A and B are shown apart, each in its own frame.
Chain A
């Protein structure tokens, strides 16, 4: 069935370092991929999305490229800040006519001073 895998549950980094949060998916349909971010005591909100193969999408310093050949949509940032500490969810939407988002288990990013 359709699924999303985020391999890292917890990532801890020092401020200023680069980060990559992994996201792979499985589906037989044409995918839309999303990254949602949830800061402490806040609602999850959209960070970025894509359905275009091999095209980089960027927002607020974060970027990701959908690679259909490897079924991946990894989230990256070249230099993390303290304010980036949050829970990051990768999610998949399908072109199958279904209404639902399929979420990964989330990655908690903690940025240390």
Chain B
């Protein structure tokens, strides 16, 4: 079935540095999402992106976070600068449409370790 690819699978970085997490969504999907999962806790919504714009973001989406999808390439989550509390697994997801019943396709996640 359709797959969402996330690169890298694991990233180790020093606190204060910049990191970019990459997501290759399902090819014909229009809506893109990032979710954050701290070890042992539930996945939490960060942001939704459509037509080049952030449509909705949660309080977890700090000022240090940004997302973009330049020219239909990777959908990226950039954190600059990183903090210790950013250590988590970040899941990218995409969907063809949006709305309450829409199915999301998730990637495997990128485990970010901030030292």
Interface bits B99-110 vs A (CB < 8 Å: 1, else 0): 011111111110
B55 touches A99 (CB 8 A): yes
Interface segment out of the listed A11-19, A44-52, A75-83 = A44-52
A99 touches B103 (CB 8 A): no
Interface bits A88-108 vs B (CB < 8 Å: 1, else 0): 010001110011111111100
> For B100, what are the chain A residues with a Cβ–Cβ distance below 8 Å?
30, 32, 51, 93-95
Shortest Cβ distance from residue A93 to the other chain B in the assembled complex, whole angstroms: 5
- In this assembly, does B43 line the interface, its C-beta being within 8 Å of a C-beta of chain A? yes
Interface bits A24-49 vs B (CB < 8 Å: 1, else 0): 00000010100010000111111001
B48 touches A103 (CB 8 A): no
Assuming the contacts A44-B106, A46-B104, asked whether A101 and B45 have C-beta atoms less than 8 A apart, the reply is yes
Partner of A43, one of B33, B55, B56, B109: B109
Task: Provide the bound-state CA to CA distance between A89 and B45, in Å.
Answer: 14
> For A4, what are the chain B residues with a Cβ–Cβ distance below 8 Å?
42
Partner of A49, one of B3, B56, B103, B106: B103
